[in-house]
């Protein structure tokens, strides 16, 4: 599937709604539709990167920005502990092929993940 057809590309184009928690010129953060914890937010770049394999040195600042926004969102949600996850590829659990950082918290989290 072309990245332009992913559900997140459609959210970015405003074609389908999302429960937005943060937005700026580089990224958008919204609540996961199938939350795995009391807080489950996705931070996505506006630039259509498939995943980290798609990232190049020119994306260094953007990738850092996504992590800073993840921390900002976690704090905004009142979390003092949380987990960030980036599933990279189908075998790692990636189902939407537009890069996204999961911000998960609000309950004790087990390690290692499944
Ligand atoms: P991943 O499995 O890492 O690719 O994560 C994709 C995430 O996107 C899953 O946690 C889904 O629940 C979530 N998701 C899929 N469609 C939507 C949507 N329309 N709005 C919000 N989250 C979504």
**Does residue 1 carry a pLDDT above 70?**
no
Strand partners, 30: 20, 42
Mean pLDDT score across all residues of the chain: 96
CB 35 near ligand 1, within 6 Å? no
In the sheet with 27-31, reading across from the earlier edge strand, the strands are 20-23, 27-31, 39-45, 101-105, 82-85
Cβ-based neighbour number of residue 34 at 10 Å: 6
How far is the centre of ligand 1, averaged over its atoms, from the C-alpha of 51 (Å)?
14
**Does residue 2 carry a pLDDT above 80?**
no
Q: What fold does the segment set 3-105 form as a domain?
A: HIT family, subunit A (3.30.428)
Structure tokens at 52: 């980290």
Mean pLDDT of 100-106: 98
**Ligand 1 pocket test, candidate residues 1, 5, 7, 43, most atoms within 8 A of CB:** 7
- The three-class DSSP label of residue 94 is coil
Domain positions in the chain are 3-105
- Residue 114, pLDDT score: 80
More confident residue, 5 or 67: 67
pLDDT tens digits along 11-42: 999 999 999 999 999 999 999 999 999 999 99
Q: What would you report as the CA-atom Rg of the chain, rounded to the nearest whole angstrom?
A: 14
How far is the centre of ligand 1, averaged over its atoms, from the C-alpha of 78 (Å)?
22
CB 80 near ligand 1, within 6 Å? no
CA distances from 46 to 1, 24, 32, 98 (A): 18, 9, 17, 9
């Amino acid at each position: 599937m072309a990245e332009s057809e992913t559900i997140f590309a459609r959210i970015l184009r405003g074609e389908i709604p999302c429960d937005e928690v943060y937005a700026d010129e580089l990224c958008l953060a919204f609540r996961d539709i199938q939350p795995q914890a009391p807080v489950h937010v996705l931070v996505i770049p506006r630039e259509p990167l498939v995943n980290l394999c798609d990232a190049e040195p020119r994306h260094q600042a953007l990738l850092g920005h996504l992590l800073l926004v993840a921390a900002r969102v976690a704090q905004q949600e009142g979390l003092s502990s949380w987990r960030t996850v980036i599933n990279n590829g189908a075998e790692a659990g990636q189902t939407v092929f537009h890069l996204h950082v999961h911000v998960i918290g609000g309950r004790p989290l087990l390690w290692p993940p499944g």
